[in-house]
Structure 1
Amino acid sequence: MSVIQAIILAIVEGLTEFLPVSSTGHMIIASSLMGINELPITKIFEVNIQFGAILSVVVLYWRRFLQSFDFYKKLLLAFIPAAVIGFALNDIIDAMLESVFLTAVMLVVGGFVLLFVDKWFRHADKEKVSYKNALVIGFFQCIAMIPGVSRSAASIIGGMTQGVNRKTAAEFSFFLAVPTMLAAGVYKFVTDLLQLEISDLISFDLVKIQNSFEVIHPNDVKLLLIGNFVAFVVAMLAIQFFISFLTKYGFKLFGYYRIALGIVLLALLAMGVDLKV
């Protein structure tokens, strides 16, 4: 992977991670068009540049992260379903992530949902997320373990089903992304890049941990640093745009976009184009 290719993927990640359009679908297209979809570093890179996107949330909303302990209790409550289900079904989730066809289908299905979600929940006007709301949002977020669903879309819609307005639901979705993506990123970093078992960390096997860092190529580190920086900057801009756009216009345009993207992926698959996650 070249520096230019890393920057392009990071831009795609920053633009799509917090929008309800599925960053997975966009990564498939971007990496496949650049011919790097089968490189071992690509999958690791795509997961780990999420750290930059996470940091953008913390920087933009730093005052919210200095709120009372109540804020963190709600985040923890919402995070627990993904932590438990994600760990328990890790192998199944990884298998689903290999299916470009499933990703494309879910893009289309999710697109049709977004066409009508504003009408379905037009009376959602709550400006605060309760503990019960947080837990429900956490379970909705788990739907995004199916590739193509979009973590952002699932969690925002989860909030709206509880009567939370679009802006508040979107912001809580951003906050929830911090522990969720951080946990996923660290897990993939340890198991894929360092090639360690979780048991090695639990037992604190210093020899294995030290040796694992020695196999990291310096160029990979450079690419990850560049990717995280670019994803951070682009995600900050994307979040601000999304909140403004969502408040004024709702989800319909994102729905049409998802449907179009899903159809493009299905068409490419039908033409025999080699697409891989």
Structure 2
Amino acid sequence: MGTLDAIIIAIIEGLTEFLPISSTGHMIITSALLGINKDEFTKLFEVCIQLGAILAVVVLYWKKFLVFDKNRLNFYIKLFLAVLPALIIGFLLADKIDALLEKPYVVGITLLLGGIVLLFVDNWFTKPQIDHDEQISYFKAIRIGFWQCIAMIPGVSRSAATIIGGMQQKLTRNVAAEFSFFLAVPTMAAATGYKLLKERELLISHPENIRLLLIGNVVAFIVAMIAIKFFITTLKKYGFRAWGYYRIIVGIAILVAIGMGYKLSV
């Protein structure tokens, strides 16, 4: 992986992490199209540049994370409870999840199926009752956390899964989206920390890898700042349907390419 490759993948991460279109799926396909060798560092890079994206959430919603008041403890407890299912299931199924990351056809199928779901999801939850995150109960937070686990399958958007999970728990679209962003912080911080600890030799023995990670995180941070604001605006106005069409088109294109013999894994 060269510097330009790292920048391109980081742009894809920043753009797609908080959109309901699967950042992991897009990075897998982007790496394949760029002809990047799917070595252990590439896998590490694609996980760890999520740190830059989640820092964008912390900066944009800094009052939620950094200003202490009487509601802040409850906020952190909810995030802790919501992230538990992903931590436990992710740890237990880590090897199986890594294996799925090497199969582009899985991305194509899940993008297509997820797109079909997004075409109709706006009509499923029409009577929200919760319009502020302080109204989210501990049990609702845990249930949203289980929805997040679906996104361990490549091509299933973590953002889409948790927002739909929030709407299923009677949250408005806007509150569900914001809680999805908040939940991304501990989830991806844990995934990044675990991956760095597990693959630390890749960084210790190759200083160039550290430079690429730093570049990737800075680019992902800047792009994610823009993408979050864009997504909240479009979600309020238009809902999920446009993203559904996008996922269907990309999913079909991937499956057709694979069916025609194009090599989308390296």
TM-score normalised by L of structure 2: 0.93
Does residue 97 (structure 1) correspond to residue 86 (structure 2)? The answer is no
Aligned to 1:219: 208
The one of 192, 196, 219 equivalent to 1:230 is 219
Query: Within the alignment, does 1:126 sit opposite 2:133 as a pair?
Result: no
| Letter paired with 1:63 | K
> Which residue of structure 1 aligns with residue 59 of structure 2?
59
1:257 matched to which residue of 2? 246
Contact 2:56 2:225 in 1 (8 A): yes
Partners of 1:151 and 1:120 lie apart in 2 by 19
Tell me what 1:6 maps to.
6
C-alpha distance in structure 2 between counterparts of 1:28 and 1:151, whole Å: 15
- Alignment match, 1:34: 34
Q: 1:112-135, CA deviations, whole angstroms, 9 ceiling, x for partnerless residues?
A: 100000001122241132212111
Q: Is the 8 A contact 1:28 1:37 kept in 2?
A: no
Task: Find the counterpart in structure 1 of residue 190 from structure 2.
Answer: 183
Q: Does 1:23 align with 2:27?
A: no
Contact kept in structure 1, 2:51 and 2:188, CA below 8 Å:
yes
Residue 157 of structure 2: aligned partner: 150
Match of 1:209?
Answer: none
Q: CA RMSD in A?
A: 1.4
Query: Structure 1 stretches (4+) deviating beyond 3 angstroms?
Result: none
**Which ranges in structure 1 are unaligned for 5 or more consecutive residues?**
196-212
Contact 1:37 1:275 in 2 (8 A): no
Counterpart position of 1:204? none
The alignment's TM-score, normalised by the length of structure 1, stands at: 0.90
Task: State the shift of 1:218 in Å.
Answer: 1.9
SS at match of 1:230: helix
Q: Which residue type is aligned with residue 214 of structure 1?
A: I
- 1:108-123 alignment to 2 at 5 Å? 108-123=112-127
- Local SS of the residue matching 1:167: helix
Q: Distance in 1 between matches of 2:246 and 2:260?
A: 21
1:21: Cα distance to partner?
A: 0.1
Alpha-carbon distance between aligned partners in 2 of 1:258 and 1:70, rounded to the nearest angstrom = 36
Give structure 2 stretches of 5+ with no counterpart: none
CA contact (8 A) 2:78 2:141 kept: yes
SS at match of 1:194: helix
The range that moved more, 226-235 or 23-32, is 23-32
SS of 1:63's partner is helix
Decide which moves more: 104-113 or 267-276.
267-276
Contact 1:57 1:236 in 2 (8 A): yes
Q: How does 1:70-109 map to 2 (within 5 A)?
A: 70-109=74-113
- Matches of 2:215 and 2:177 in 1, distance apart? 27
**Equivalent position SS for 2:51:** helix
Residues 193 and 265 (structure 1), Cα distance of their counterparts in 2 relative to 1, 3 Å cut? farther
